[in-house]
Structure 1
Amino acid sequence: MTAVAPWASDPAASRGRLHEEQSGIERGPRDGFQRDRDRIVHSIAFRRLRHKTQVFMAPDGDHFRVRLTHSLEVAQIGRTIARVLGLNEDLTEALCLAHDIGHPPFGHAGEDALKAALAEAGGFDHNGHTLRTLMTIERPYPRFDGLNLGWETLEGLAKHNGPVRDPGWALAAADAAFPLALDTHASLEAQVAAIADDIAYDNHDIDDGLRAGLLSVDQLCAVPIVARGWTAAQGRYPGVEHKRLGHELVRAQIGLMVNDVIAETRARIAASGVTSADDVRDAGRPLVGFSDAMRIEERDLKGFMYANLYHHPVQLAAAEAARGVVGGLFAAYRADPSAMPAEWRDRLPADRVTRDRHIGDFIAGMTDRYAVARYREQVGPIDLPEGF
């Protein structure tokens, strides 16, 4: 769709793509942002998100979220906000769907292990790896590496959380190939994608935590915003069982946060005086965000979730096992790169740094279950906590 707000991103005014593409090939009536979204959806890296950790590592339960379902939920929230604000929904959706593509297996535990393994080669950062995956590693086209996404999509992925003052090697390489103005804020669509991510995991992780039995309603009600929501849900539906009320709590809380973002963003845009997408980049501060009151409440909720879910003893044990898998795989492939599949082995660089990064690329693309299977094949047996 074409956005109506003057400060929205316009596909007709795009800064283009890194590689010129053949003209005269018609593959449906789509603009540039729609093509980017579709290229992301059809990518191998996007498909692999269905077996990558969101909160629970390689969960046995079919009802727990994974990176793929999380990304879809972020896109739903992001499109809602973008539509109300008159922004470009297709660019917003593309950014929401792609924002986690650079995550390795086992989420942040896997990232920590890769960062340590690649310490002498510049480390590892999942956001930089998202750009590396989409610009270099994916290879579905005959004339160039990567998906050849538009500038606005790559820019939004690079800095949806704000300007990047000290990019890691992967993001720096992406910026050197196709300068992304890393020192400015990104588009409003990218800012919406970032806050939609926060809203999604703040609330859907509550749902998963309750389902797994690692959180209880009594615990959650120590957080003021949750306590108010729970009381309101009980008032609307007296006598309804707690499990069903938990779903109502999550829905209502998402709505509360979304409405807060919309109202606050409208006020910031009006006060800023921006009249174009470039004005947004030069505004010097984010224009999409929570109100001060909601920001404090959301921060308190995050603090609770880290203390009681993400750092739960069960989760910490799983994370320790995951770091062992990723670290063990890196050591095994570094000692014997010939053990990698032919398509990776045949492109093995000669020098140590780029070779290590190449091995890291291979491991980062693995799903949880593929990483466990390869560990058992290359390293040996491993006892994994329940839930793998």
Structure 2
Amino acid sequence: MTLASYASHPAISRGRQHDERRDETRGPRDIFQRDRDRIIHSVAFRRLRGKTQVFVAPDGDHFRVRLTHSMEVAQIGRTIARVLGLNEDLTEAICLAHDIGHPPFGHAGEDALKAALADNGGFDHNAQTLRMLTQLERRYPRFAGLNLSWETLEGLAKHNGPVSDPPWALAKIDAEYPLELQTFASLEAQVAALADDIAYDNHDIDDGLRAGLFDRDQLLATPGLAELWEGGVRRFPNAGPELLASELIREQIGMMVNDLISETKRRIQESGIASSDDARGAGRPLVGFSPAMAEHERGLKRFLYAHMYEHPKQEEVATAVRGVVAGLFAAYHGDPALIPDNWRASLPENEPARSRHIADFIAGMTDSFAIRAYRAQIGPIDLPEGF
């Protein structure tokens, strides 16, 4: 398809940090297509299948994990990018990679690593994504990381907006390969950020209903959802509650996507931008929901926090898994012999590098690996059942 002038064009990409000989190009792919493929083929991406989205090491086969969530984000992101004339491959690369830096157990695991590194710069999953892709993932003999394009790294660093006070991991990467952290990112990165919101707002509702954390009546008390439900009942009067819930989620995803496309087109036209750099310098996000939809989306988040993320059963699990991560960090820091040989061989002697190296090892773990490591190296732990 023809790209809009304000899209990210591969022919004028700012390139990669490390030069790669042209004669090693494999297949007729442009720079953003190769980025996407490198991410898909990476070990870090494969590990997302064993990392928490909402439920820890879920017992149910139908609950989402980080991998399935990332794929759903990519599908929504590509749809939006195509309609807006943006680069679908760059959008997809950012969507697929955006959660690679998450440690085991999602935000509970991140909280534990933040506490463990409190005196050594803390931990941030978004910065860890960049650290993973530029340093820790090893696939090439000539350089560390995946050597992704500037545009992909910039999009991952700034997809939530400019970064005025970067955490240490992001600051280190930016010092080596400046990503213009003070500006907004490309429109592709902005699309990826909103595709993430659309995906988890809706799919977490699906998983929450399936898990029984809230019921239909609680859900439909959220403004706007009862009308969507009744619309489904009118169209499919013989459908049962499960199918009607699926229909509600599909309708809402479509409604949010259409609103975002319409509002973004309006903002782009109003801004008068003519290039991707114009979008970066616009001084405000150009991809976004209308005011009414933005308020609706905030209402969905309030519902999910009240009835799902902060549900007593979830809090019980979160407390337990924070103990797993904290226990592993303390054990490895106190006795490096517990660390696998390949990681122990490069363990720094001094702080803060020593603690950060241990956090890198733990952050790469899947939920189940972390649980097994704790039980093997520290001792028994009782985890609440059900998820």
Whole-angstrom CA distance in 2 between matches of 1:170 and 1:267? 36
Whole-angstrom CA distance in 1 between matches of 2:289 and 2:211? 29
Correspondence 1:250-261 to 2 at 5 A: 250-261=249-260
Whole-angstrom CA distance in 1 between matches of 2:314 and 2:117? 24
Gaps of 5+ in 2: none
8 Å CA contact 2:3–2:9 kept in 1: the answer is no
8 Å CA contact 1:269–1:287 kept in 2: the answer is yes
The equivalent of 1:105 in structure 2 is 104
Q: 1:84, CA displacement in angstroms?
A: 0.3
Q: 1:212, CA displacement in angstroms?
A: 0.6
Whole-angstrom CA distance in 1 between matches of 2:333 and 2:159? 33
Q: 1:3, CA displacement in angstroms?
A: 4.7
The equivalent of 1:325 in structure 2 is 324
Whole-angstrom CA distance in 2 between matches of 1:344 and 1:3? 47
Whole-angstrom CA distance in 2 between matches of 1:228 and 1:3? 38
Q: 1:125, CA displacement in angstroms?
A: 0.1
8 Å CA contact 1:121–1:357 kept in 2: the answer is yes
Residue by residue, what CA displacement relative to the aligned partner does 1:362-384 show, whole Å, maximum 9, x if unpaired? 00000000000000011100000
The equivalent of 2:142 in structure 1 is 143
8 Å CA contact 1:3–1:10 kept in 2: the answer is no
Whole-angstrom CA distance in 1 between matches of 2:337 and 2:352? 17
Correspondence 1:160-179 to 2 at 5 A: 160-179=159-178
The equivalent of 2:192 in structure 1 is 193
Q: 1:387, CA displacement in angstroms?
A: 3.2
Whole-angstrom CA distance in 2 between matches of 1:226 and 1:166? 38
Residue by residue, what CA displacement relative to the aligned partner does 1:105-128 show, whole Å, maximum 9, x if unpaired? 000000000000011110000000
Q: 1:352, CA displacement in angstroms?
A: 2.0
Q: Kindly tell me the number of residue pairs found equivalent between the two proteins.
A: 387
Q: 1:231, CA displacement in angstroms?
A: 1.2
What letter matches 1:350 in structure 2? E
8 Å CA contact 1:164–1:183 kept in 2: the answer is yes
The equivalent of 1:49 in structure 2 is 48
The equivalent of 1:203 in structure 2 is 202
What TM-score does the superposition give when structure 1 sets the normalisation length? 0.99
Correspondence 1:1-388 to 2 at 5 A: 3-387=2-386
Whole-angstrom CA distance in 2 between matches of 1:73 and 1:225? 23
8 Å CA contact 2:50–2:368 kept in 1: the answer is yes
SS in structure 1 at match of 2:352: helix
8 Å CA contact 1:3–1:9 kept in 2: the answer is no
8 Å CA contact 1:118–1:357 kept in 2: the answer is yes
Please give the root-mean-square deviation of Cα atoms over the aligned residues, in Å.
0.8
Q: 1:26, CA displacement in angstroms?
A: 3.2
What TM-score does the superposition give when structure 2 sets the normalisation length? 0.99
Whole-angstrom CA distance in 2 between matches of 1:237 and 1:188? 38
Runs ≥4 residues deviating over 4 A: none
SS in structure 2 at match of 1:70: helix
Q: 1:239, CA displacement in angstroms?
A: 3.0
SS in structure 2 at match of 1:119: coil
What letter matches 2:315 in structure 1? L
Q: 1:234, CA displacement in angstroms?
A: 1.0
Whole-angstrom CA distance in 2 between matches of 1:150 and 1:68? 22
- Residues 217 and 248 of structure 1: is their aligned pair in 2 closer, same or farther, counting only changes over 3 Å? same
Q: 1:56, CA displacement in angstroms?
A: 0.5
What letter matches 1:232 in structure 2? G
Whole-angstrom CA distance in 1 between matches of 2:288 and 2:75? 17
Whole-angstrom CA distance in 1 between matches of 2:36 and 2:214? 35
Q: 1:302, CA displacement in angstroms?
A: 0.3
8 Å CA contact 1:37–1:90 kept in 2: the answer is yes
8 Å CA contact 1:57–1:387 kept in 2: the answer is no
SS in structure 1 at match of 2:45: helix
Whole-angstrom CA distance in 2 between matches of 1:192 and 1:240? 34
SS in structure 1 at match of 2:7: coil
What letter matches 1:120 in structure 2? D
Q: 1:350, CA displacement in angstroms?
A: 1.4
Q: 1:85, CA displacement in angstroms?
A: 0.3
What letter matches 1:225 in structure 2? G
Residue by residue, what CA displacement relative to the aligned partner does 1:36-74 show, whole Å, maximum 9, x if unpaired? 000000000000000000010100111000000000000
SS in structure 2 at match of 1:307: helix
Whole-angstrom CA distance in 2 between matches of 1:272 and 1:26? 38
8 Å CA contact 2:333–2:358 kept in 1: the answer is yes
What letter matches 2:193 in structure 1? A
Residue by residue, what CA displacement relative to the aligned partner does 1:327-359 show, whole Å, maximum 9, x if unpaired? 000000000112111110111111121010000
What letter matches 1:346 in structure 2? A
Whole-angstrom CA distance in 2 between matches of 1:222 and 1:177? 50
